[in-house]
A and B are shown apart, each in its own frame.
Chain A
């Protein structure tokens, strides 16, 4: 199974900050990676698919990059509504594993 390791697991930041979350895969997954945002009590929301494709309606301050084994999610200027938990997920092969999550706190 492919393991995904996110870093950091917790991140404290302020409104207006630029933040980067990293997701490392235990083996190459090409660009078969998605990023999700989840707020407490809510379903996950797809932000980015195929490593760098921004979903419709997602603000342009979110961006994704990477391929192979290392990927990043960047938020260029944090807004109050961005404080949430972020997950990466690989869909290169089954089982479609998730990273452990990164909780972004004020």
Chain B
């Protein structure tokens, strides 16, 4: 059974940092690209970042470029999102998803990031 479990969310002050993780199981992690999507409270879905299956290419939404870094550890079957210089507008539930020819076919349950003083 495919499972994705996010962790690392929490309350952080503006300007602070957090590192999100997504533990994958039930499939060959190294064969898939992976994606982070977020959802601000009461709002719609926003694509944040994606990484190709071999880690060679990474893509980001403009609002997080230079602040967030997506990475993967195939030995640990894990996906990460390093978030620096956090802003109030980064407050959201962050989901990891497995790439299925561009769409996300499996999603984690999400982890809440709250940026507030």
Contacts and interface: CB of A to CB of B under 8 A. Distances in A.
Given A49-B105, A50-B101, A44 B95 contact: yes
A43 B59 contact: no
B100 interface: yes
Contacts of A46: 100, 103-105
A100 interface: yes
A18 B100 CA distance: 29
Nearest to B62: A95
A100 B103 contact: no
B105 A96 contact: no
A106 B117 CA distance: 39
Nearest to A43: B107
A34 B59 contact: no
B3 to A, nearest CB: 12
A46 B98 CA distance: 11
A44 B44 CA distance: 11
Interface in B97-117: 100-105, 107-110
Nearest to B46: A98
A43 B110 contact: yes
Interface in B30-56: 35, 37, 44-47, 50
Given A45-B107, A46-B103, A91-B101, 15 more contacts: A1-B62, A36-B104, A44-B37, A44-B95, A46-B104, A87-B45, A89-B45, A91-B103, A94-B50, A95-B47, A96-B102, A97-B47, A98-B47, A99-B44, A101-B44
Given A43-B110, A44-B45, A91 B105 contact: no
Contacts of B45: 36, 38, 44, 87, 89, 98, 101
